[in-house]
């Protein structure tokens, strides 16, 4: 089955044609008998969100997507994620501010947060450990999915 996606990222139009296979990388059985891990992805780039939607679906996770920080923060109580993946470069609220606001919510103070970004200024990079936020640099996705798998394994224990 072939699919074609067209759209526009932050700056450039794109067109991607791909074939859907029964995923060779899909988890054959869930990590636990419970519902799949819930992930909230907050990223303003639609191509990133669509790519993660495909991959997380293949891996058997339940991912919900928000296009900006305020939208993602509003979704937190409803989604009750077990992991948040936040882009740093967003408007009107950057990922660091989103992480601060997540930590300020008592029910999500211990939520694992991964900052997924092409880079951060040094003065912001120094603030990540205090926020208990992991950093994974774009464009590579393998370290991101490895970290997600590790978090899922730790939650299944």
106: CATH: 3.40.50.2300
- 134 assigned to some structural domain: yes
pLDDT at 99: 93
- 54 assigned to some structural domain: yes
What single DSSP character describes residue 12? -
pLDDT at 31: 45
- 63 assigned to some structural domain: yes
- 88 assigned to some structural domain: yes
Count CB-CB contacts under 10 A for residue 58.
Answer: 16
pLDDT at 134: 83
Domain count within the chain: 1
pLDDT at 127: 67
Low-confidence ranges of the chain (pLDDT < 70): 1-35, 120-129, 157
Q: Which of 109, 73, 110 is nearest to 92 (CA)?
A: 73
pLDDT at 14: 59
Q: In terms of residue numbers, what domain contains 114?
A: 37-156
- 85 assigned to some structural domain: yes
For the entire predicted model, the pTM comes to 0.74
- 62 assigned to some structural domain: yes
- 15 assigned to some structural domain: no
- 28 assigned to some structural domain: no
């Amino acid at each position: 089955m072939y699919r074609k996606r067209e759209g526009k990222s932050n700056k450039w139009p794109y067109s991607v044609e791909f074939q859907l296979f029964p995923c060779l990388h899909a988890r054959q059985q869930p990590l636990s008998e419970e519902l799949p891990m819930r992930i909230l992805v907050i990223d303003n780039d639609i191509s990133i969100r669509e790519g993660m939607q495909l991959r997380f679906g293949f891996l058997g996770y339940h991912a919900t997507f928000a296009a900006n920080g305020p939208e993602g923060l509003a979704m937190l109580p409803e989604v009750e994620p077990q992991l948040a993946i936040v882009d740093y470069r967003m408007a009107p609220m950057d990922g660091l501010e989103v992480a601060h606001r997540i930590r300020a919510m008592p029910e999500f103070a211990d939520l694992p947060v991964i900052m997924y970004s092409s880079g951060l200024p040094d003065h912001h990079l120094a603030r990540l450990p205090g926020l208990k936020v992991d950093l994974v640099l774009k464009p590579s996705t393998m370290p991101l999915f490895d970290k997600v798998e590790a978090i899922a394994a730790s939650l299944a224990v």
